[in-house]
Amino acid sequence: MLCQVCGADGSEPHFGGESCRACAAFFRRCVHSKKLDVTCTCQHRLPSSHPCRHCRMLKCIATGMTKNKVQPNREKNRSRFYHIGYIPLISSLPTTIIPKTCDNITKTVVNWVDIDKKRKQMYGESTYHQNLTEVTSTAKANIKLLWSLAECIFSDVSKLSISDRDSITYNFFPKWLVMESAIDYCTNYNQFQSFLGTDEYYKKCAHFYGSSMASGKRIKDSETIRIFAPFWDWHYSEVAHPVYLKKLDKVEYMAIFLLLLFDYAYTNISEDGAKLCRNIRKVILRELKGYQDDKNCSEMRLADTIDTLRLLEKAEEKLQEENVLCGLHNLVLHDDWKEIFHIKKL
């Protein structure tokens, strides 16, 4: 069957009409083209020439092709933004060879693949359109999943009391939320650089907090941005970017995860619980040092990696301030979230 546009052989259905593949590709390019104003140039062409773009496009439309049946272009490196609580796919990051002496960190790296899969099943492909209320509602499920990983790596932690388990995970969770957001920033640095400070960035901020405010209590978007955007700006300039400059790899991220989780410097943990955490941290620090020595890292690399914990301590304080403002401006937070942030730690 002949193409109804150019007369070539091989006509078949395309975009609601009938044409050859070449004319279908032409139609798709024209639909995606930014040159909207195209005029007829046939009178300036040789009689033996093909029709101009304008006339060829009209012939495509005459066959029944419609613009709404053409799929939009896939955006390359689409800028993504996920506030604290976004779950980056850490398991997809490249991994270097890990020495056999780093057994526990290796297990964490390997098992994180399952963590990413389960989170994807729980929360879907993207959390971009979630607001703060929705993020807070997933806290307990997230904690349970991460704790199951800890029990898989260190079987002794399953013997801890429920009180110790809750205290350890509640102490850890806010800082890890911040760290995961920083990891996302590091992984997608170029996209974030073109996104931070833009209108879309501030619109996202207004939606994230504004749509979480109680019915009838929502304030103007400009006020929401004025109150809450500084917390986002601070996070990216004072935490995420400094972490990016450290150029940590996946193994070091996993070490930080374990060091945060088994932090014994809190008074809400029993003596036995603190002792277990202390011993586990010693093992992780020894493995981390061995890993960095094996890579011939500088002596300052270990100190620089551990310094990340200090940044996260500061970030948790900022997160507490943000939660106070959320309460003052009638944001609806899940009870599980409130329990985590109201626990007495020291």
Which range of residues forms the domain containing residue 27?
Answer: 12-69
Tens-place pLDDT, residues 154-192? 999 999 999 999 999 999 999 999 999 999 999 989 989
In this prediction, residue 92 has a pLDDT band, given cuts at 50, 70 and 90, of low
Q: Tell the burial category of 111 from Cβ atoms under 10 Å away from its Cβ (0-12, 13-18, 19+).
A: middle
Beta bridge partners of 9: 2
DSSP assignments along 268-326, one per residue:
TS-HHHHHHHHHHHHHHHHHHHHHHHHTT--THHHHHHHHHHHHHHHHHHHHHHHHHHH
Asked if residue 83 is part of any domain, the answer here is: no
Strands 17-19, 12-14: parallel, antiparallel or unpaired by DSSP? antiparallel
Same domain, 23 and 123: no
Please give the C-alpha separations between residue 7 and each of 26, 50, 60, in angstroms, as whole numbers: 15, 11, 12
Tens-place pLDDT, residues 242-278? 999 999 999 999 999 999 999 998 888 999 999 999 9
DSSP assignments along 193-229, one per residue:
HTTTTSHHHHHHHHHHHHTTBPTT-PPPHHHHHHHHH
Question: What pLDDT score does 51 carry?
Answer: 73
Residue 41 scores a pLDDT above 90: no
Asked if residue 75 is part of any domain, the answer here is: no
Same domain, 28 and 130: no
Same domain, 55 and 133: no
- Residue pair 229/235 in contact by the 8 Å Cβ criterion: no
299 vs 77, higher pLDDT: 299
At residue 153, φ and ψ (nearest 5 deg) are: -85, -45
Place of tokens 């964490």: 108
79 vs 258, higher pLDDT: 258
- Structural domain total, the chain: 2
Residue 46 scores a pLDDT above 80: no
Average pLDDT across the chain, whole number: 86
In this prediction, residue 56 has a pLDDT band, given cuts at 50, 70 and 90, of confident
Identify the DSSP state of 90: G
Please give the C-alpha separations between residue 225 and each of 92, 154, 193, 206, in angstroms, as whole numbers: 33, 43, 19, 6
First to last CA, the chain: 80
Position 323, amino acid? N
Asked if residue 2 is part of any domain, the answer here is: no
Same domain, 37 and 99: no
Asked if residue 188 is part of any domain, the answer here is: yes
Question: What pLDDT score does 81 carry?
Answer: 44
Residues in the chain: 346
In this prediction, residue 346 has a pLDDT band, given cuts at 50, 70 and 90, of low
In this prediction, residue 343 has a pLDDT band, given cuts at 50, 70 and 90, of confident
Q: Summarize the confidence of residues 34-56 as an average pLDDT.
A: 69
